[in-house]
Copies of this chain bind each other. A is one copy, B any other.
Amino acid sequence: MKRIDVKECATLLKEFDNYLILSHRNPDGDTLGSAFALKRTLDLMGKKSYVRCVDPMHHKYSYLWDGIDNTEIQYDKIIAVDVADTKLLGDSFEELYGDNIFLCIDHHMTNKEYAQHLLLEDRAAAAVVIYEVICELGVEITPEIASCVYTGLATDTGCFMFSNTTPTVHRIAADVMEKGADYVNINRLMFETKSLSYLKLEQMAVSSIESHFDGKCAIMTITREMFRESGSSSTECDGIAALPRKIEGVKVGVTIRERHDGSYKVSMRTVEPFDAAKMCGKLGGGGHHAAAGCEFNCPLDEVKATLLETIKAEF
């Protein structure tokens, strides 16, 4: 493994002509935006490349690859983008490509250094690093490339809301907007659109919220019945576990989600000084300080009672 900088990365990219670009499993806006920004840049350099991911890419991202030829080619070298660990390529891809990654462009400081060349920077999004590489290459930033970069920036920062947002992120956003990034439609697609079934599920979930310990703890329950009634699927519910902690005054927000098999998945979100990982750890789960989880295989009443007992000990 050799750590390289942006300049060396640009030099390296010029050396070969045919690339396979890999994004991480469960692909999000940053891994896909970065991958297609790079592919579009290589296209402009007269090189051949294609982007692959072990999981299907959601149709809402289709503007990223609109109008380009992404068919398989014979590649010389493999590039992984926004992939901190070969495990994140997904099982089959890890086996196929894991030992043979020529270049990794990433922003996770936990990167496992698996690639032959690693361009790693502590940035809010992989798209920031990709943008720097494109600028170094001197390739013209087309509106399409601008949209790819913008997508990575905006999705990894929650539309510039999360604490990882930096002045650099805002300045690059300004630059790519001037280069023609279709930010109005991208923002709408990424942040504004909810399905009616999801809204209905959210509504039922909110009505289930119970408040404890003077409003400092909120417990929300989502049952199989609610999924059925609302018509919502669990794939669109990634963000819902954040809801209880958004309530004013809540320090410990808990979401209990009933699984298909009747077991319960618990997500806990906390505000300082409460430690979600510690509480969930006591219950056989784990995670981070502010976001953790655990599981239960018992009636809902017991789940709640056990949770409340554990949380009470922290107050």
A220 to chain B, nearest CB (A): 10
Q: Which residues of B contact A194 (CB under 8 A)?
A: 246-248
> Could you tell me if B206 and A200 are in contact, using CB atoms closer than 8 angstroms?
yes
Q: How far is the CB of A300 from chain B (nearest CB, A)?
A: 21
* A174/B167 contact (C-beta < 8 A), A161-B191, A247-B199, A248-B194 known: yes
**A160: min CB distance to chain B, Å:** 4
Q: Are B247 and A196 in contact (CB under 8 A)?
A: yes
User: Considering the complex, which residues of chain A in the window 159-185 have a beta carbon less than 8 Å from any beta carbon of chain B?
Assistant: 159-163, 165-168, 170-171, 173-175, 177-178, 183-184
Alpha-carbon distance A243/B193, docked complex (angstroms): 9
Stretch at the interface among A37-45, A65-73, A126-134, A207-215: A207-215
Check if B163 sits within 8 Å of A184, measured CB to CB: yes
Which residues of chain A from 136 to 179 have any CB-CB distance to chain B below 8 Å in the complex? 159-163, 165-168, 170-171, 173-175, 177-178
CB of A246 within 8 A of CB of B192, answer yes
Interface readout for A232-253 with B: 1 if CB under 8 Å, 0 if not?
0000000000110111100000
Known: A174-B171, A194-B247. A206 touches B215 (CB 8 A): no
Query: In the complex, what distance in Å separates the CA atom of A165 from the CA atom of B160?
Result: 12
Across-interface contacts of A171 in B (CB, < 8 A): 170-171, 174
Pairwise interchain contact B161-A167, C-beta atoms closer than 8 A: no
A187 within 8 A of B: yes
Let me know if A116 is at the binding interface, CB within 8 A: no
**A167 B159 Cβ-Cβ under 8 A:** no
The 5 closest A-B pairs by CB, nearest first: A167-B174, A170-B174, A170-B170, A163-B184, A203-B206
A residues with CB within 8 A of B: 159-163, 165-168, 170-171, 173-175, 177-178, 183-184, 187-188, 191-196, 199-200, 202-203, 206-207, 209, 211, 215, 218, 242-243, 245-248, 271
